Chain A
C-alpha cells in the first residue's frame, strides 16, 4: 500500500491459531458446561412427566464438577494464550501508526486500537476472562443450589 502501513505489522510474532484459541476457548468452555450441566440435571430431576425429589444418578455433582473443572482449565488456557499474544504484540499499535513508542493521542483512553494482531489478542483476553467469571459462577452453583426440587 502506498500511503499506509500494513494493519498487522506484528502478525509474524504470534500464531493465528493461538489468537483464535484465545478468542474461542472461553465461549466453548462455557457452552460445554452449560449444555452438559443443564441437560444432565434436567433429565435426572425430571426424567418423564413427574419431577423427582433427588437425582437417581449417583455422583451427579461430581460429574458436573468434573465438567466444570475442565471448563475452568480451558478458560484459563485461553486467557493465558491470549495474554501471551498480547504481551508479544505490545509494540504493534505504535509500529502500525508509524509513531514509534509514542502514544497516539493525549485524549485516547484505554487504547487507540491500531494493530489487528494486538486487537485480536486483547479481544481474546477480554472474552476469556469474562467467560472464566461466568464458568466459575456456574461451578459455584453446583454446590450452592440443590439439583432437584425436593432435595
Chain B
C-alpha cells in the first residue's frame, strides 16, 4: 500500500514538473540553525524513549533544524500543484529528505457567492489554526500545541477534499460560512503514536514516508510507527463547518473518523479505529491574536467480539494561545492540557497520560528573509507507560530553543 502511495506522490510531482512553466513556480522555504538546551532526565521519544520533548540531554546543543521547501505550480488557469518537502537531520528519521504534502488543488473562479475548492493528494486535514506558515509551520511559536503536533505527526489525509464557502462580502455581509468534506485512505495507524507515547509538543512533522521511533517494540520490523499505511481497505472521512466574521474571527468544527477496522492486522502496525471531534476558534484584535482549540475522541485496536477493539483509549486536549504582534516583534504564550485514558484492555497495555504544558515564545522578524526566535517549553505531568520501563510516571521536562532562520 505504501507503494501505491509512492506512485500517487510521484505522479503528482511528475505532473507538476511536466505541466508547469518553471518561471511560474512559486517556491518558498527556509533553512535554519537551532541552539537547544534541555532539562529532562528522560530520553526523547525521537530516540526511542518516553520523554515528550523532541530533544534530550544527549541530543541538544547546536542542531541544524529543518530545511523546508514549498513549491506551488500552476498546471492550468484554475488547477495548481503544491508540493512540500522537509529535510531534518539528527532525529533517527528513516528518510532525511521526505515529502510532507503533495496535492493538486482546483480553484475555479467564483461565479456567485459560493467559493468552491477541491484537493486531491496528500495534505493536512483542516484542523490547525496555528500552522499556516511555509512547510505548515506555526506562525506564533516554534512548537505547535499538543493537538496540532499530533495532526502533523499522524493525521495525514491521502485522498480528496471538497469545500464550499459562502463569501459574505459579495452580499454586503460580515459572515463567511462554509463546509468541508474529505475522503481518504492510508491513515489506518493513526492513534498508535499517542496511545503508546502520549501527547507531545514539537514541530517535527512526520513526512509521508517517515515515521517515529516506537517506544514499545513487539518485533524486528516495527522499529517505526508510520502513519501513512492502508491496512483494511476502508476509506475514512472528515466533515466540518467553518464560519469567519469580518474576515478576521474564525470558528471551525470538524468530525474525523478513519473508519479503521481494528480487527485488521498489518505488517508493522494494525488498523486503528480513530475518531475525534475538533473545535477551534480564533479572534484577531489589532495586533492581538487569541486562539483556542479542543479535541476529544477515541482510538481502538485489536479484534474483539463486539468489533469495537481489544484496546480502547479515550483522549482529549485543549489549549489557549495569546499572541501579540507589534512591528517586527511577536510574543506568544500558550497553555496546553492533555489527557489519555485506557477504557478497555488496560490489563494488556494501560495508556494513561495527564499532562499540561506552558509555552512562551518570542519571534523577531528582521525582514522577509531573516527570523530569530526563542522558545521556552515546559511539559509536566504523568505518563503511566513510563512505569513499564521502571521510570516514575511523573516528570517535568523543559526545553529552550533559539532559532535563526533564513527564508527564501
The reply to whether chain A is a binding partner of chain B is: no
By a beta-carbon cutoff of 8 Å, the part of chain A in contact with chain B is none
